[in-house]
Amino acid sequence: MVALTEAIAIGRTFAAMKDYQLDGNKEMLALGTMNVVGSMTSCYVATGSFSRSAVNYMAGCRTAVSNIIMAIVVFLTLKFITPLFKYTPNAILAAIIISAVINLIDFDAVCLIWKIDKFDFVACMGAFFGVVFVSVEIGLLIAVSISFAKILLQVTRPRTAILGNLPRSTVYRNILQYPEAAKVPGVLIVRVDSAIYFSNSNYIKERILRWLIDEDDLVNESGPNKNPVFNSGDVTRY
């Protein structure tokens, strides 16, 4: 799973940079085929390498033929001139990788993620520091774990909102996002932005009851009892 996630993440990174589409099914088929064939010759698990892909990209390679040439060069290097690299400092190898990868860091995208979704920003930073201080696999594992936690949190605690009517229209919107939206007297309009499961039904119920209790004093003083109305347009149907 980590190898597949790493390969897909690398592919999507370069797909976004080169403006082309990535077919996840084909990636899974290719990785599966490589690992099945490789297992017959005691190979390691096959996946994409971010550092080598970055070096390949920065070298100006454009087609898959570069991978064939690189494989031949690596084979010849391992076969004949490996002793020449015996005393090569790791710092030199690290400098080559850093010089290729540093241009792939998109600071504007990080700032945009922070503005849009703080949870995604945490996953981004977890992946970044995991890769920098441990390894690519650990970084991806951290990001995937945080993403799964976010999904579980969204399922068990879906977004709910009180809707109000926009002036001079029949449109109803979240009163927190649209301060000009006015509540309908005697009616509490609630929207649930997720499917309703057994795991989140109690949360939704408690949320709605809390809203009713919070407005109970206002209702008793200024008008009739609130009648809850549910906007189920965003609720998944099965």
Q: Report how far residue 143's alpha carbon sits from residue 126's, in angstroms, rounded to the nearest whole number.
A: 6
Q: Which of 116, 138, 155 is the last residue of a domain?
A: 155
Long-range contacts of 164-173 (CB under 8 A, 24+ apart): 164/189, 172/231
Q: Report how far residue 199's alpha carbon sits from residue 185's, in angstroms, rounded to the nearest whole number.
A: 32
236 in a domain, yes or no? no
224 pLDDT band, cuts 50/70/90, is low
102, 208: one domain: no
238 in a domain, yes or no? no
Residue 179: beta bridge partners? none
Q: Which of 134, 155, 176 is the last residue of a domain?
A: 155
Q: Is the pLDDT of residue 174 over 60?
A: yes
Query: At 202, which amino acid appears?
Result: N
Q: Enumerate the H helices of 64-197 as residue ranges.
A: 65-76, 90-101, 107-116, 118-133, 136-156
Q: Is residue 124 within 8 Å of residue 113, measured between CB atoms?
A: yes
Tens digits of residue pLDDT in 89-124: 888 878 877 777 777 777 888 888 888 888 889 988
Number of folded domains in the chain? 2
Tens digits of residue pLDDT in 144-155: 889 888 888 888
20, 104: one domain: yes
Q: Is residue 135 within 8 Å of residue 162, measured between CB atoms?
A: no
33, 46: one domain: yes
235 pLDDT band, cuts 50/70/90, is low
pTM of the model: 0.56
47, 21: one domain: yes
Q: Which domain holds residue 185?
A: 160-231
175 in a domain, yes or no? yes
